[in-house]
Structure 1
Amino acid sequence: MLLFVEVLIALFIHDNFVRPYLGDVLVVIVLYTAIRIIIPVKYALLPLYLFIFAVGVEVLQYFKLVQVLGLQNNSFFRIILGSTFDWKDILCYGVGCAILGVYEWRVRYRR
Structure 2
Amino acid sequence: MNRRALVGFLIVLVLEVLIAVFVDDGIIRPLGGDVLVVILLFFGVRSLSTAPTIWIAVSVLVFAWGVEFAQYFQIIYRLGWEDNAIARTVIGTRFDPRDLVAYTLGAVIIAIAEYRWGDRYWR
**TM-score normalized by structure 1?**
0.89
List runs of 5+ in structure 2 lacking aligned partners: 1-10
Once residues 12 and 67 of structure 1 are traced to their aligned partners in structure 2, the CA distance between those partners, rounded to angstroms, is 29
Contact 1:42–1:104 (Cα < 8 Å) also in 2: no
Once residues 27 and 106 of structure 2 are traced to their aligned partners in structure 1, the CA distance between those partners, rounded to angstroms, is 15
Aligned-partner residue type, residue 78 of structure 1: R
Residues 37-70 of structure 1: per-residue CA shift (max 9 Å, x gap): 1114543232222111111110100011111111
Residue 11 of structure 2 is aligned to residue 11 of structure 1? no
**TM-score normalized by structure 2?**
0.81
Match of residue 116 from structure 2: 106
Alignment of 1:61-76 (within 5 A): 61-76=71-86
Which has a greater percent of helix?
2
Match of residue 44 from structure 1: 54
Q: CA RMSD in A?
A: 1.7
Q: Segments of 4+ in structure 1 off by > 6 A? A: none
List runs of 5+ in structure 1 lacking aligned partners: none
Aligned-partner residue type, residue 30 of structure 1: L
Once residues 119 and 65 of structure 2 are traced to their aligned partners in structure 1, the CA distance between those partners, rounded to angstroms, is 28
Give how far 1:19 is off.
0.8
Aligned length: 110
Residue 66 of structure 2 is aligned to residue 84 of structure 1? no
